[in-house]
Structure 1
Amino acid sequence: MTKLPPTPTYTGKALLDLVELLESDKSVAAEHAAQTSFQKLRYMDIRGFPTTLPLPMKMIVEGNKHAHAQKNVSMDVSKRSPSYGYYSFWDYHMSYSKRETTPTDVAQHLIQAVEASAQHEWLRPIVKEDILRQAAASTERYNQGKPLSAMDGVFMAFKEDEAIKGYIATSGSTFLNKDNPSLDDATPIARLRAAGVIVVGQTRMQEFGWDTFGINPNSGTPRNPYKLTSSCGGSSSGCGGIIAGGVVPSALGGDGGGSIRIPSSFCGVYGLKPTVGRVSGYGSMGVCPSVGVTGPLGITADDMTMVLSIISGPDAKDEKTLLQPPLDLTIYNQTESLADLTIGIMPNWNKECLEPAIVVQLEKVLAHLKTLGAKVVEIEIKNTELARHAQMITISSEMNSFIRRFPDNHNDLLASNRAMMALLDQSTPTDYVKAQQIRTIVIKEMEDIFKEVDVIMTPTTAILAFDFPEDCFDIGMLSGGRTGNCTQFTGLANFTGIPAVAVPAGFDNEKPVSVQFFAPWYEEAQLCRLAKVCESAPGIERRCAPHSYHGNFLPKNATL
């Protein structure tokens, strides 16, 4: 039997050879699958009921009270986030309100910036006429003194697995929804349009979101604005790149195992994975339904939080959203003191970072939080490794199930996804059920921990943005080890349904560093507050990416 190393990196011809081997020789596929997470639980004696909706049972029961919940409580924006050379949504709104510029003027500059940055492959092709039409309507509202919200005339882009009216939601593939543009917007996008947001277009992503690198020979591989030879992370790769590149201040991504937070980490922006059911999934492709959620990325905490406040809330088209309490952001600007907060840390888990600089920067941020009165305690999540395997089984099984709906397009898939499907053919329904039994156990463990602490602080990723292998762009890349490095600290939130936020924490060797916070279910407001606190942490550098394109969006004499 042919022997395969456990977690090599495959690119180019080696990746194609691997796919041929796995698909033609089931014994090789079985041997290789046994070295992955897919079979780690098979022979474990796991008892108890499986959980597929990652919420504590009491919250599901109590959720009936929220079916007709009041609207979200808007955030207090009296204290604006520092933007460190970038433009926040507030900069646009104030400049429009003071008649210093118009959405139409900015749209013209933005279209030029999109064209100038095209080689970085952040965006799919745009529809210039549609952008200018939206901008003209926004300009008229400002001329009448009737903007729809502070987001009116602000430009946003959206991961290409969300339905945008008139666009084809391909999920990074060559065949999904081919020649069938969406007839309606996804609910989050519809809510943003209703607030006056201007839709720029679709950001590029990993095919079906099934990995963390952003490498996609189908539609393009986004390059990192801080170093163009490095990955933006994935799968919401283009979202991170286009924000750090200054083209838009915020974007919507999707997160099934870290796909918002990993690009946020690699690109030095803010990214929030909401609680399951906080944001409607209607209009998303639903590739991994029990772990995947839609959420915002932003250049500042304000941008991220403002978008969250608009897209959150009940939606009759997604029953999970009917369980949620209102998003109450009254604590958002309570940043002078954290005396009310207990932060849990796990030093031994943090040490699993491959980049020591990440832990160094985490300690700097943590020291600032202590000076504001936060209490810090060491905790232990006993089942992090078990949860990691179960999360990988869950998300991969659900993605595999989705893609199997298109058997006629199997050969159209990227080689990396075909390899993953060949490995998953060696799994059984029992593997998936055991993963859901573990989910029940880990959710209960997290419930108990959150009785002792308000939030948990970890690294976001175990590595910094890595440099692309030279031969990855035509065929793709498969690297189980690198995928694990990216998702080491992120997958737990998806598996248990809790919210999590990635927060910029300085730089190492010109590459962004990020830290992460977990909070209990539906406590996104606490995470947004901490993101805002961290923006002012002393000794934590923020700077524009070398490859950014927003310089002439607003007039130099604008009062911002």
Structure 2
Amino acid sequence: MTGPTENKIATPVLVGQPLLDFVKALEEQPGFAAQLSQNSLFTALQNHRDLKGSPVTIPIPFSQMARVSETPNTKAEVPRLDHKTRSVSSTFLSFWDYHEKYLSQELTPTQVATRVIESAEASQEHEWIQPVDKEDVLRQAAASTERYQKNQPKSQLDGVFMVFKEDQNIQGRVNSSGTSFLNKGNPATYDSTPIHNLREAGVIILGHSRMQEIGWDTFSINPNSGTPKNPYQLTSSSGGSSGGSAAAVAGGLVPISLGGDGGGSVRIPASFCGLYGLKPTAGRVSGYGGSEVSTSVGVVGPIATTVDDLALSFSIISGPDEKDPKTLVQPPFTLTDYHKTDSLEGITIAVVPEWNKEVEVPAMVDHITSFVEHFKSLGATIVEIDIKNSEIARAAHSLTISSEMNSFARRFPEHRTDFLPYTRAMMSLVNESKTSDYVRAQQVRGAMMTQMEDIFGKVDLIITPVTSIQALDFPEGSLENGMIDATSTSNCVKFASLANFTGIPAINVPSGFNNDKPVSVHFMANWYNESLLLRVAKICELAPGIERRKPKVSYSSRHLEPASI
């Protein structure tokens, strides 16, 4: 695979009336859409007619499937985390804080629920989550309180509050996927499998978090559903498309949330909001009960304040589910070696110098360098690698996810004008790409998977930036109708998308601050090796000198105050 592929949609940042005029021209002048499409990533594969290999739409290598077939295909038991793993922090509340208050009988889930509900109501001006169903939350809290009174909590997450991206089914609530019309008046009759698993573990379902419309951008600017503001700077994006999920955690409403990641949509908001975010291996978490907007690249993953919260929630949501066949080819998840944080002997970690040159914020590379030096001190071997054909892989991923989202959006022709301007513009542009280009993209996927198999035959982890930029400031006028900013979108997804395209797991780790905004580093690992990602994230969490700073807006301080007499 050779040849130029760095073609970007040649448009300035569009907001307000210019955005509306642009969308009108695309929809009313097909030639204009075709011309723009020719200068975009969507047609970057047209000159690559020499591609070989079978198209791949399920990014799990046959070698991995064969290896998995030798292991029992059963749901692993939810691990109990040991207090030895706990990192005490005054910045954020963890599940540990809730669980210990309940065990000691200092507070009950019902007492805390009333405070969380008050916080949820107060936070509505920041548009992180949808309004909560108070009676339902209190019912869940009462059941959890009874379990703790009997000393029979279902798990360490019993009584812990969570929110979920609004493209996941929550029984009794509308799965809108960030639109103004989807499932309107038709609440879900069942929970998605990840939410079902968490409910079975005693988690209190607070409700839906706001998102980018159908997940088709990285800033969660959504005049329909609400635009979640970044708790560190309310004039900045909380990332996307799972922006509300990250903002609700950073803002102290909940210690853990679930998002969805098709091109970085868990890791980008986690990075913008100074949190941990895990993009699991393809097929590791069931997609049943989700909107299935981008099934070949998307996966559900947790966002959390601490690595323990991330690890425990992931252990609950992962595992085989007969309702989603992709999940049936996976080994049991374990937290093997999670506690081994004082040594990285025998672990090889790769740096990608060419990727580091692409960042817009030099501090991001400085943070990578600092962690690399720390890893060396723990005995890790550090090597440099080159990920070949990164640009064509980015183009192929962009074509893949946008084609799948376009296919989803076009299921609702009667609601075309109900979509936001950004979504409508993308529908016009993607519609000009050809089916043959989508097939070529899947051939590129197969080649990149082969390359990643080769790389992970030599190294254990890859450390990179997660984005090229920090949290974007909202352009004036963008909150009314949305915006198009192709350059910033590209700068968000360029490093994150490879994990989605090839199916490997990846994790975002907060590393400090630059200009009062969070900065993160990013790790990728071999298929099904989330345990190593969580272990290295834990090592990063314990590393000296890593600043965790409470956001300007935070609601957690009252949640666990002593009960008044």
**The TM-score by the shorter chain falls in which range?**
over 0.9
Q: How far apart are the structure 2 equivalents of 1:69 and 1:109?
A: 38
Q: How far apart are the structure 2 equivalents of 1:250 and 1:494?
A: 22
Q: How far apart are the structure 2 equivalents of 1:82 and 1:263?
A: 24
Deviations 1:62-111 (A, max 9, x none): 44445633625626433202334211001110110001111111111111
Q: Give the letter for the 2:324 counterpart.
A: D
Alignment match, 1:228: 234
2:333 to 327, 341, 345: 327
Q: How far apart are the structure 1 equivalents of 2:79 and 2:203?
A: 17
Q: How far apart are the structure 2 equivalents of 1:358 and 1:56?
A: 32
1:25 to 24, 29, 35: 29
Q: Does 1:169 align with 2:175?
A: yes
Q: Does 1:100 align with 2:130?
A: no
Alignment match, 1:52: 57
Alignment match, 2:499: 493
Change (3 A) 1:80 1:517: same
Change (3 A) 1:83 1:350: same
Q: How far apart are the structure 2 equivalents of 1:188 and 1:64?
A: 23
SS in 2 for 1:221: coil
SS in 1 for 2:320: coil
2:407 to 401, 407, 423: 401
Q: How far apart are the structure 1 equivalents of 2:351 and 2:67?
A: 29
2:546 to 540, 545, 553: 540
Alignment match, 2:17: 13
1:37 to 41, 48, 56: 41
Alignment match, 1:71: 76
Decide whether the 8 Å contact of 1:63 with 1:322 is kept in 2: no
Decide whether the 8 Å contact of 1:224 with 1:267 is kept in 2: yes
Q: Does 1:81 align with 2:87?
A: yes
SS in 2 for 1:271: strand
Q: How far apart are the structure 1 equivalents of 2:312 and 2:185?
A: 34
Change (3 A) 1:66 1:413: farther
Q: Give the letter for the 2:159 counterpart.
A: G
Q: How far apart are the structure 2 equivalents of 1:334 and 1:157?
A: 31
Q: How far apart are the structure 2 equivalents of 1:418 and 1:85?
A: 41
Q: Give the letter for the 1:267 counterpart.
A: C
Alignment match, 1:260: 266
Deviations 1:444-475 (A, max 9, x none): 00000001100100011100001001101111
**Which sections of structure 1, spanning at least 5 residues, go unmatched?**
none
Q: How far apart are the structure 1 equivalents of 2:99 and 2:78?
A: 20
Q: How far apart are the structure 2 equivalents of 1:344 and 1:277?
A: 25
Q: How far apart are the structure 2 equivalents of 1:401 and 1:70?
A: 33
Alignment match, 2:3: none
Q: Give the letter for the 1:460 counterpart.
A: V
Counterparts of residues 364-379 of structure 1 (less than 5 Å):
364-379=370-385
Q: How far apart are the structure 1 equivalents of 2:68 and 2:140?
A: 38
TM-score w.r.t. the length of structure 2 is: 0.96
Q: How far apart are the structure 1 equivalents of 2:340 and 2:80?
A: 11
Q: How many residues align?
A: 555
Shift of 1:284: 0.7
Deviations 1:429-455 (A, max 9, x none): 001000000001000000000011001
Shift of 1:5: 7.7
Q: Give the letter for the 1:156 counterpart.
A: M
Deviations 1:219-258 (A, max 9, x none): 1100000000000000000011000001100001000000
Change (3 A) 1:179 1:255: same
Shift of 1:538: 1.7
SS in 2 for 1:418: helix
Provide runs of 4+ in structure 1 moved above 4 Å.
none
Alignment match, 2:391: 385
Change (3 A) 1:326 1:21: same
TM-score w.r.t. the length of structure 1 is: 0.97
Q: How far apart are the structure 2 equivalents of 1:79 and 1:348?
A: 35
Q: Give the letter for the 1:451 counterpart.
A: G
Deviations 1:291-313 (A, max 9, x none): 00001010000101100010111
Shift of 1:8: 1.4
Q: Does 1:178 align with 2:184?
A: yes
Change (3 A) 1:84 1:351: farther
Decide whether the 8 Å contact of 1:67 with 1:322 is kept in 2: no
Q: Percent identity?
A: 54
Q: CA RMSD in A?
A: 1.4
Change (3 A) 1:79 1:185: same
Q: How far apart are the structure 1 equivalents of 2:297 and 2:9?
A: 29
**Which sections of structure 2, spanning at least 5 residues, go unmatched?**
1-7
Q: How far apart are the structure 1 equivalents of 2:497 and 2:224?
A: 26
Decide whether the 8 Å contact of 1:100 with 1:555 is kept in 2: no
Alignment match, 1:359: 365
Q: Give the letter for the 1:269 counterpart.
A: L
